[in-house]
Structure 1
Amino acid sequence: MSDSVPEAGPRTEATVPQDEPAHDPAYDPAAPAPLDVSRTATGHPEVDALLERLGDADHLATDGHVEVYEDVHRGLRDALTALDARPGPPAPAPHPTTPQ
């Protein structure tokens, strides 16, 4: 039995351990990546469109997310405000005509 350690040869893709990803020069961990968060439809077309707009942030760098989030927040706030808007005063009832 020998106490010497054999020389390590060059690492090839076949010898890369399973828990260590192979080096891909095109891989950029800082690049935008989709979050793949599912969005459930609400049944309100305006709100659903705003929620889908959140998906636009998936393809932007982090500093671009703020614009999308603020746009969606403004739209959702407007939709909620519209629910609180009260209709104008009721129309006056028509006067019944009396036969003469």
Structure 2
Amino acid sequence: MSESTPVWARDLVAAQGTPDAPPQEAPGGERPEDAPAATGTTAEPQPLGVTVAATGNAEVDAAVERLGDADELPVHAHIEVYEDVHQGLRDTLTALDENRG
């Protein structure tokens, strides 16, 4: 592989190995072939477990809390939650701007 080969391509070859060199281990000691095989079934959604500190603004805190609703939804349904939260945050910012003037 030459110096002009993109880094991502070199990393891919290193991870997969070649006939001359076995695959390299990942930082955690796992190799790609050690990963569980895909079964073709759709897994249940798993919460990300992200925690967010309160901002002190009730409207913003309510909007951020609403993001947690996406944890219980399949990925294709997340957009509705994100759009709702985005609109709520925009409304809150607009209200703050209007009170400044």
Please tell me the TM-score bracket, short chain as reference.
0.5 to 0.7
RMSD of aligned residue pairs (Cα, Å): 2.2
**Largest Rg, 1 or 2:** 1
Matches within 5 A, 1:42-61: 42-61=55-74
SS of the aligned residue for 2:63 comes to: helix
Q: Give the corresponding residue for 2:50.
A: 37
Scaled by the length of structure 1, the TM-score of the pair is 0.56
Task: Give 5+ residue unaligned stretches, structure 1.
Answer: 1-18, 22-27, 89-100
% identical equivalent positions: 62
Paired positions, count:
64
Residues 48-99 of structure 1: CA distance to partner in whole angstroms, max 9, x if unpaired?
A: 01100000000100011000000000000000011111578xxxxxxxxxxx
Q: Distance in 2 between matches of 1:70 and 1:30?
A: 25
Higher helix share: 2
1:74 corresponds to which of 76, 81, 87: 87
Q: Which has the higher contact order (CA 8 A, sep 6+)?
A: 1
